[in-house]
Structure 1
Amino acid sequence: MAKPVADDAVLKTSNKKKYLLWAVGLLLLLGAIGGIVGGIIAVRRSRQRDVFPAFRGVSYTPWGSDVASSTNSRASIQAMKDANVNMVALNTFSFIEDQDDTGPVTLDTTASSRTNYSTDDAGLVEGIRYIRAQGMDVFFKPNLDLKDAQWRGKIPASDGFFRSYKEWMVSRAVVAQSNGVSILSVGTEFNGAQGDEAAWRDIVAAVREVYDGQLTYSANHDSYQEVAWWDAVDMIGIDAYFPLTENEDDEPSKPTIQQRWVDQGEQIGMFRNKANLRTMPVIFAEAGYRSATGATTESGHDGGANQGDRRDNVNLDLQADAYDALLGIMGGHRFDWWQGAFFWNWEVNPRDNEDTYNSWTPQGKPALQVMTEFYQKWAE
């Protein structure tokens, strides 16, 4: 006997129920997927925030003992805080006569335009304490210069030099320890002397006996890969004046500068891997650009590019773009081992019309706004 044919209305009702159940299931599935995707996005966002650099820095250069004793110097330090700075690289300068001098390191406060910028210990301590009282940490960067105005990178390695330098650096470490300094640089740009690995390990060991904060060495941009004793300190420090362009009359676009920083970041990353320093953070112990055409060239660093009179070839936009490129590229997720820059330089007494000069400082210029906005984002 043939089976009865189902009523059309019954079939339609049954199909509607199937479609309804299918639609509900699809909506539930989409909701679950949406929740997963949302969670992934949230995790990615939190990871991106986690890699913001730890240090929002500037390089403070008192050029004398007025670190925080005058109305001007205290106002300058307060302006750092207003720019969202959380770590101040405090630069001081002591001297030897010339590159062959193996005598003791001395202060020089004579009335010379070249050498009248040593900071005595009273001014140093007052400055450290005042900066910390404003809620910022201190990266102490004691620099050794030559009275004959030659670059410290020309000082050769010698037993006599290391003997006097070690004594001096330990004395700086004692001041740092006594006054709550967070980071201490054991040297700056000693291209000619940094190759004596044993001597530098000895200096670092002596410093650690009296100082328990973080240590770095501030290598010049062209020689950081030649330092064989990075593992003796806590972070790789680079004075990051990399030449990003070649033509002194060139005014590179921001995308061009950004790509150059991608290239530099990749090179630093490859060095960390090759040297088995994958867990070591990197800071730019110094970085910066003059507000002048040619500022992104090699001679923009050494002062030759279009400097002439200090009011020649002023280029505020190039300085601002260079700050933006450095902070945007190096501060991104791609280079999460990079922990910040200390921009050269922050003056005690910036000019009221600083934006009409081709000087290094960002004070009173568009570059300051760029830096402030990045630092605000990183602080959130």
Structure 2
Amino acid sequence: MNKLIWVLFLVFLSCTSPKPEKVNGISFVGSRKEVAQVHVNPVLDIHANYAAIMPYGFIRDIEAPELVFNTDRQWFGERREGCMQYIKTLHENGVKVMLKPQLWIWRGEFTGHMVMKTEEEWEKFENSYAQFILLYAELAEETQTDIFCIGTELEAFVKNRPEFWNQLIADVRKVYKGKITYAANWDEYDETPFWNQLDYIGVNAYFPLTDDKDPTMQALKEGWKPWKTKLQALVEKENKPIMFTEFGYRSMDFTGKKPWLVDRGEMNVNLQAQADAIQVIFDEFWSEEWFAGGFLWKWFIDHEEVGGHADNRFTPQNKPAELVVRNHFAQGKRTGS
């Protein structure tokens, strides 16, 4: 009888134990100015529990080994002192942070294609990139930042220089004691070789879902099926949870066709398509135990001045999609997930 009672007690505990908190995050875009309470209030209003802070390093072109970062010529929110002020203000409001240093190549060339021409240039670039990442890993430790991301969408760099990445991860671990991830693009994550050394599999989830101009929620759900199967298989292989280090959709026609598009082409505004696509990604993933949550792309600090019903960009601010985000994040807050 005692053994039966003990078994029932363990079952009861497993049923009543709180689920791990999901990351209900936004990508908090750096600005020219300091963050004030008025800028954080809209983040609290949508019940976000995390924000990604993104300092930038700049490169002239995809073959240039010179990386420029943390200079007075950059916006305040894109350099070290700005990130510190942003993190401090968010933490004071109970919002956790992922610090996510990123690269920007002049004219917006894709970082995943970046390849150096010679061994000497590779070594020069690696030295500069390591300095960039370790500067912010030290800041992450100093500010007790909750998650640190060691890179974003660097497919060719990862593929060509595996030894560098192994050493970088080890060096980051020496200065930062929190959770670490890498933000792999949607078409590189399954070939990233170092997931077993990180705490989360990080994916920028711009998966193509449907070619429909005005997609239904059912079409979006169907589009997710093959990708979801692959993601879950990787979780089982690596025994690591997946986090969407970025996810989002533009408020335009064909929003599920090529969700990664950032060009400023004249695409018709479609507010409902954005709202539906975001709702579907919540429905498909946030209830899965193997899924850690994610960071919505993207959220600007001057809330009242961005987005709106004439905007076809990624931000959900002042659009129907913002209500979708608020309702979902609020539900997560109530359930503790």
TM (norm. structure 1) is 0.77
Distance 2:82 2:76 in 1: 12
CA distance in structure 1 between the partners assigned to 2:307 and 2:64 by the alignment: 40
Note if 1:88 corresponds to 2:47.
no
1:147 to 77, 82, 106: 106
Aligned to 1:132: 91
Give the Å deviation of 1:102.
Answer: 1.9
In structure 1, C-alpha distance between the alignment counterparts of 2:265 and 2:126, rounded to whole Å: 37
Cross-structure match for 1:354 = 308
Alignment deviations for residues 74-107 of structure 1 (CA, whole Å, 9 cap, x no partner): 3232111111110111122121222222234334
Q: Give the deviation of 1:220 after TM superposition.
A: 0.3
Q: In the alignment, which residue of structure 2 is the partner of 1:189?
A: 153
Change (3 A) 1:117 1:287: farther
Q: CA separation of 1:190/1:171 partners in 2, compared to 1, >3 Å: closer, same or farther? A: same
For the pair shown, the structure with the greater C-alpha radius of gyration is: 1
SS in structure 1 opposite 2:78? coil
Q: How does 1:306-317 map to 2 (within 5 A)?
A: 308-309=265-266, 312-317=267-272
- What does residue 128 of structure 2 align with? 164
Report the Cα distance in structure 1 between the residues aligned to 2:187 and 2:176, rounded to whole angstroms.
29
Aligned to 1:365: 319
Contact 1:55–1:340 (CA under 8 A) maintained in structure 2 = yes
- Note if contact 1:96-1:106 (Cα within 8 Å) is conserved in structure 2: no
Counterpart residue number, 1:277: 238
2-structure distance, mates of 1:156, 1:67: 35
**Over residues 89-136 of structure 1, what are the superposed CA-to-partner deviations in whole Å (9 max), with x where a residue is unaligned?**
1122121222222234334665xxxx8687232211111100000011
Contact 1:94 1:118 (8 Å CA) reproduced: no
Structure 1's unaligned 5+ residue stretches are 1-38
Residues 75 and 118 of structure 1: CA distance in aligned 2, closer, same or farther (over 3 Å): closer
Counterpart CA distance in 1 for 2:27 and 2:274 is: 16
Mapped contact 1:191–1:223 kept (Cα < 8 A) = yes
Q: Secondary structure at the match of 1:75?
A: helix
Which residue of structure 2 lines up, in the alignment, with residue 344 of structure 1?
297
Q: For residues 185 and 215 of structure 1, what CA distance do their matches in structure 2 show?
A: 6
TM-score, L = length of structure 2: 0.87
Q: CA-to-partner distance for each residue in 1:204-228, whole Å, 9 max, x for gaps?
A: 1111111111100000000001101
Q: Write the distance in 2 (CA, Å) between the matches of 1:89 and 1:149.
A: 21
Amino acid at match of 1:194: V
What RMSD in Å do the two structures reach over aligned CA positions? 2.5
How far 1:297 moved relative to its partner? Answer: 1.2
CA distance in structure 2 between the partners assigned to 1:357 and 1:204 by the alignment: 39
Distance of aligned partners of 1:377 and 1:354 in 2 relative to their CA distance in 1, 3 Å threshold = same
The aligned residue for residue 3 of structure 2 is none
Aligned-residue offset at 1:50? 5.0
| Cα deviation 1:342-367 (Å, max 9, x = unaligned) | 00000122436612211211111111
Q: Does the alignment pair 1:56 with 2:24?
A: yes
Counterpart-to-counterpart distance in 2, 1:210 and 1:303: 35
Q: What is the deviation of 1:245?
A: 1.2
Q: 1:60–1:88: 8 Å Cα contact kept in structure 2?
A: yes
Q: Residue 219 of structure 2 corresponds to which residue in structure 1? A: 256
- Does the aligned pair in 2 maintain the 1:67–1:124 contact within 8 Å? no
Count residues in correspondence.
318
Structure-2 separation of matches of 1:322 and 1:51: 25
Structure-1 separation of matches of 2:113 and 2:265: 25
Structure 1, residues 170-208: CA drift from partner, whole Å, max 9, x if none? 111111111111000000000111123221010011111
How far residue 285 of structure 1 moved from its aligned partner, in angstroms, is 0.2
Q: 1:344 is aligned with what amino acid?
A: W
1:77 to 28, 40, 52: 40
Q: Which residue of 2 aligns with 1:27?
A: none
Whether the 8 Å CA contact 1:58–1:85 is kept in 2: the answer is yes
The match for 2:78 is: 119
**For residues 13-34 of structure 1, what are the alpha-carbon distances to aligned partners after superposition, in whole Å with 9 as ceiling and x for unaligned?**
xxxxxxxxxxxxxxxxxxxxxx
Q: What is the distance in 2 between the residues matched to 1:352 and 1:106?
A: 27
Once the two structures are TM-superposed, the CA of residue 243 in structure 1 deviates from its matched residue by 0.7
Describe the superposition over 1:131-155 as per-residue Cα deviations: whole angstroms up to 9, x where unpaired. 0000110101111111343121121
CA distance in 1, matches of 2:72, 2:166: 32
Is contact 2:137-2:175 (8 Å) kept? yes
Q: Report what 1:180 is aligned to.
A: 144
Secondary structure in structure 2 of the residue aligned to 1:302: coil
